[in-house]
Structure 1
Amino acid sequence: MQATRRRRTWTAAVLIAAAVVLDVSLHLYPLRLLILDFGRAEGAAVPSTEAMRFPHGTTLMSVRSECASGGCWSLFTVRPPAGSDRAAFEDTYLVDRGRLDGTLWDPRPITVSAEEFGDDVWVVRGDYWTDWLWRPSE
């Protein structure tokens, strides 16, 4: 009898804890999205290397950020991978204004473009604000 009561008490405690965690998560996630949107509107936020999701085999040589009056962007100096991963790299990054969709954690889309720097080295540009300001006619 006492074991059953103890088990019910622990079950209730676990359910209450799960409900509190879920409630806090449901309130904090929209706040995170709002904070990300402010950074995007200001143009000061720049994508990280992880956010760019380069294909496996891409060699990252350097990363730097630059800003102008319109906003900030990241410049990634990379050596593309070989084989099928290279084709995926070119399809995604070697375009005038490509787009990487966001993730659940960071839903901001990234506008990407690249140009050859020489000796199979490419400079890939990524920013959050171009897509927000510039929308192609559909």
Structure 2
Amino acid sequence: MTQPPVNPPPGWYDNSRGQRQWWDGIAWGSLAAATPQPAAQVSRTARNVAVAVAVVATVIVLSLLYAGRLLWLSVGATEGDIPPASAVPLPAGSEILGETSDCASGGCWTNVTIRPPEGQSAEALAEELGATPQLEIPGDFWDPRSVWVSARPTGSVLVLILDYYSEEWVP
């Protein structure tokens, strides 16, 4: 014996014309509004594309600005460029007494006079900094130029000489 076909339960179903129609379990009833097309999905996709384009554009603009900064540092560099005293990390208790700039045929440099922390000699401070005979402080992201530091203990103070143009000291 064959069983009669089982009808789907009553409910709203999509028909072949993109509309929703009521099925009462026996016969089709009235039509509902057309099934919403994926317009919301399209607007979501468009928004995602717009966000991706904005992010990529921002990254490109920031990269171009940074490349311009590096170009300005390299092309615009002169022997007159001098590093700031703040380029040298000093231990707590050290005091900067003065800062001067000098120039000669090999370029310009900054002389920074420092009083060591109490109980430390100028020679010991130079050793602690690693500036005997010379210290290289690598550049950072914003200014990739290395700062070269040499130390001259003078009595109770230490004079640091900072420049961008020295080469590594080789004994």
TM range (shorter): 0.7 to 0.9
Q: Deviations over 1:54-108 (max 9, x none)?
A: 3333211111111111100011111223689x96752435312221111121111
Q: TM-score, normalised by structure 1?
A: 0.72
Larger radius of gyration: 2
The answer to which structure has the higher helix fraction is 1
- C-alpha separation between the residues in 1 aligned to 2:125 and 2:153? 16
- 1:19 equivalent to 2:60? Answer no
Q: Which residue number corresponds to residue 14 of structure 2?
A: none
- CA change 1:15–1:89 in 2 (3 A) is farther
- 1:117 equivalent to 2:139? Answer no
- CA change 1:83–1:37 in 2 (3 A) is farther
Percent identical:
35
- C-alpha separation between the residues in 1 aligned to 2:125 and 2:50? 49
Residue range with higher mean Cα deviation, 25-34 or 61-70: 25-34
Q: Which residue number corresponds to residue 98 of structure 1?
A: 135
Q: Which residue number corresponds to residue 101 of structure 2?
A: 65
Q: 1:113 Cα deviation (Å)?
A: 0.6
Q: TM-score, normalised by structure 2?
A: 0.60
Aligned-CA RMSD value: 3.3
Q: Secondary structure at the match of 1:21?
A: helix
How many pairs align? 132
Q: Secondary structure at the match of 1:130?
A: coil
Q: 1:115 Cα deviation (Å)?
A: 1.1
- CA change 1:50–1:14 in 2 (3 A) is farther
- CA change 1:94–1:51 in 2 (3 A) is closer
**Structure 2: 5+ residue stretches without partners:** 1-39
What are the residue-to-residue correspondences of 1:32-43 with 2, within 5 Å? 32-40=69-77, 42-43=78-79
Greater RCO (Cα-Cα under 8 Å, separation 6 or more)? 1
Q: Deviations over 1:116-136 (max 9, x none)?
A: 2222x11100000113xxx45
8 Å CA contact 1:99, 1:109 repeated in 2 = yes
**Structure 1: 5+ residue stretches without partners:** none
8 Å CA contact 1:93, 1:124 repeated in 2 = no
